[in-house]
């Protein structure tokens, strides 16, 4: 997600509908994305985990929209093997492609205040906290990546780009 830089702006809201264990229909209204985690490991697909906070909810809503997964199922998943890790702006690489990245994970966090209830079930607002990005990655230490890790340990600014493609 992206940080809100205008103090008068607010995060967009969504309605999320789902079925819990085939028993209860649930509609969550006024959802805002709190965190989005992207995880990618060798020989695995890209995984995305979203955490949302809703203003109110309703059980057993009878008119849920029927989802269609036809186009989604026909699309191949984004695999870690289709990921390119580019750090070509770094002098130590000499314009070569980036080092082998075995695992990468990053989380975008809007730090929503989840305690903003007006009664036991509804919220009037969901205040947004300080936007932050955290993450981790696993890159082997060897003669090619030694310079990359030296800059990371020295806490120098290291610029890199991760891109997934259908290959």
Determine the number of helices (DSSP H) and then strands (DSSP E) in the chain. 2, 8
φ and ψ of 98, to 5 deg: -70, 170
The whole-angstrom separation of Cα 65 and Cα 39 is: 29
> Which one has a higher pLDDT value, 97 or 132?
132
**Considering the entire predicted model, what is its pTM?**
0.75
* Residue found by looking up tokens 């891109």 in the block: 163
Number of CB atoms found within 10 A of residue 117's CB: 11
> Which one has a higher pLDDT value, 1 or 45?
45
Which range has highest mean pLDDT (70-79, 88-97, 157-166)? Answer: 70-79
Per-residue pLDDT at 68: 81
Chain centre distance of CA 135? 10
Summarised one tens digit per residue, pLDDT across range 47-72 is 999 999 988 888 877 777 777 888 87
Average pLDDT over residues 25-49: 90
């Amino acid at each position: 997600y992206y940080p809100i830089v205008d103090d008068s702006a607010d995060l967009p809201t969504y309605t999320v509908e789902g079925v819990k264990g085939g028993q209860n229909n649930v509609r969550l209204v006024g959802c805002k994305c709190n965190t989005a985690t992207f995880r990618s490991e060798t020989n695995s697909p890209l995984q995305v985990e979203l955490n949302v906070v809703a203003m109110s909810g309703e059980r057993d809503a009878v008119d849920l929209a029927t989802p269609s997964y036809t186009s989604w199922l026909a699309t191949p998943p984004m695999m870690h093997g289709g990921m390119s890790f580019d750090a070509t702006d770094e002098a130590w690489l000499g314009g070569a492609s980036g080092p082998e990245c075995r695992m990468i994970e990053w989380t975008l966090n809007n730090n929503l205040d989840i305690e903003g209830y007006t009664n036991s079930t509804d919220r009037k607002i969901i205040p947004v906290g300080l936007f932050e990005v955290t993450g981790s990655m696993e890159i082997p230490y060897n003669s090619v990546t030694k310079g990359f890790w030296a800059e990371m340990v020295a806490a120098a600014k290291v610029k890199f780009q991760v891109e997934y493609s259908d290959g």
